[in-house]
Structure 1
Amino acid sequence: MSEFSKLKVSELKLPKLNTVCIATPSVIGPRSVSTGIVKPPVEGQVQVEEMGLEGDFQVDSRVHGGLDKAVYQFPFETYATMSEALPHLAQRFLSPCVGENFSSTGMTDETVFVGDIYRVGTALLQVSQPRMPCWKLNQHVGNSHVMAMLVSLKRTGWYYRVLETGHVEAGNAFILEDRLQDAWTVEAIWTHWLDLRAQKKQVVGSVPVPGLSTQWRFDW
């Protein structure tokens, strides 16, 4: 047995799942539009199914949810970055604020690669794509710049597809089980996307980014 395998998970300083969050029925904006962005933390074990966390929901299935967007994770560290960028909204930038299912520490958009496979609790998850923020985030926070800010910072968090169902709970470690060859970080995906937009090029097409969802395939 290797020295690594003898260590306890708590001794490895692995990335940690801080909170698990489930949507609660809510309305948002002046027109009281239904939304699932309000996701308070829950205690105890939560079942992870193929389409997401048990009890979670998406109001608009055309743009939210699905096999490649089953679970959404947002790094707790990014809240400090958001507060630095928009200090007058610091009191609004408290986890969970952006609609995340998982709040974590020890993982960021610059260290997580699309295609990464993580064991969390008894579930096996694969990073599938960055999160594209929508207008409901701006309405939820009460500021029209938050969505664009996260994209410009390349700090939007990421989605998972579920490879093996199981259960998770706050305090679980994220154990990296596999990283694909030639993988791109979540941040690198955004860098390329923003570059294509700046050149007014098509951002959907085909590029060899292993593990990337079909929604995010690029055209060089």
Structure 2
Amino acid sequence: MNINSAQIEGIYIGQLATIGPDKTSTGIYKVFSEQQHEVTELGLSGDIQVDKRVHGGTEKAIYHYPAEHYALFKQALPHLSDSFVPGSIGENISTHGLLDSEVHIGDTFRLGSAIVQVSQPRRPCWKINQKYGNAHIAPFIMSEAISGWYYRVLETGQLKTGDSIEFLARLDNSVPVADIWQIFMERLERKDGKEPIPKIPGLSDEWRFE
């Protein structure tokens, strides 16, 4: 099993802001935090979650994004290189050493003193494109399968920057987070998007039926 434990290099907490020409409310603008945060079933204390369709709730409580992916953005869109820094895509947690191709849906981790489980990929919305001022960001995330993932919280606890994230367990017959995107994109190409994604251990039902 090729999976690493890692250190939390950054915790990022959403601030209420607006985005786009219609001044839509959003929590995508995150700020680095050195404080200790409560990990609840609905996420990190102090984190603003505005649009619960794409972030928030028990199945999307905490968003983890691998810092390694920013190098891919910089290579693909060098004119925006300075914008691609940890925290900028809207993540709550940033690490090195855990990738979408290695972390599986349903994997359980100890996050600080909390226990969490990978529930689904992050499905990028228009706000990501708007934030970076480029319409190619969301399609690039999907095509490269570098969306990061959400956690559901199994046991509440506390978390701060510098804490460890420890791999605990993996479900039988699980699949990597990145593979969900391959399944999803193949369904789009076949135009059978109304059919649910086949049952995958640990995958949130709300994502399967989107």
Give TM-score, length-normalised by structure 1: 0.90
Alpha-carbon offset, residue 204 of structure 1 = 4.6
Aligned to 1:113: 104
Aligned to 1:3: none
- Counterpart-to-counterpart distance in 2, 1:180 and 1:76: 25
1:38 and 2:1 aligned: no
CA contact under 8 A between 1:113 and 1:127: conserved in structure 2? yes
Q: Indicate the structure (1 or 2) with the bigger Cα radius of gyration.
A: 1
Aligned residue for 2:143, secondary structure, equals helix
Q: Structure 1 stretches (4+) deviating beyond 3 angstroms?
A: none
RMSD: 1.6
- Counterpart-to-counterpart distance in 1, 2:71 and 2:155: 33
Within the candidate set 192, 196, 213, 2:204 is matched to: 213
CA contact under 8 A between 2:9 and 2:94: conserved in structure 1? yes
Identity of aligned residues (%): 43
Report how many aligned residue pairs link the two structures: 207
- Counterpart-to-counterpart distance in 2, 1:175 and 1:203: 37
Give TM-score, length-normalised by structure 2: 0.94
CA contact under 8 A between 1:180 and 1:210: conserved in structure 2? yes
Alpha-carbon distance change, 163 to 147 in structure 1, aligned in 2, over 3 angstroms = same
1:191 and 2:182 aligned: yes
Aligned to 1:159: 150
Structure 2: 5+ residue stretches without partners: none
Cα deviation, 1:17-36, whole Å, max 9, x if unaligned, reads 11111111111122222110
Within the candidate set 202, 208, 216, 2:193 is matched to: 202
CA contact under 8 A between 2:5 and 2:167: conserved in structure 1? no
Aligned to 1:136: 127
Alpha-carbon distance change, 70 to 204 in structure 1, aligned in 2, over 3 angstroms = farther
- Counterpart-to-counterpart distance in 1, 2:51 and 2:199: 29
Alpha-carbon offset, residue 170 of structure 1 = 1.1
Alpha-carbon distance change, 199 to 124 in structure 1, aligned in 2, over 3 angstroms = same
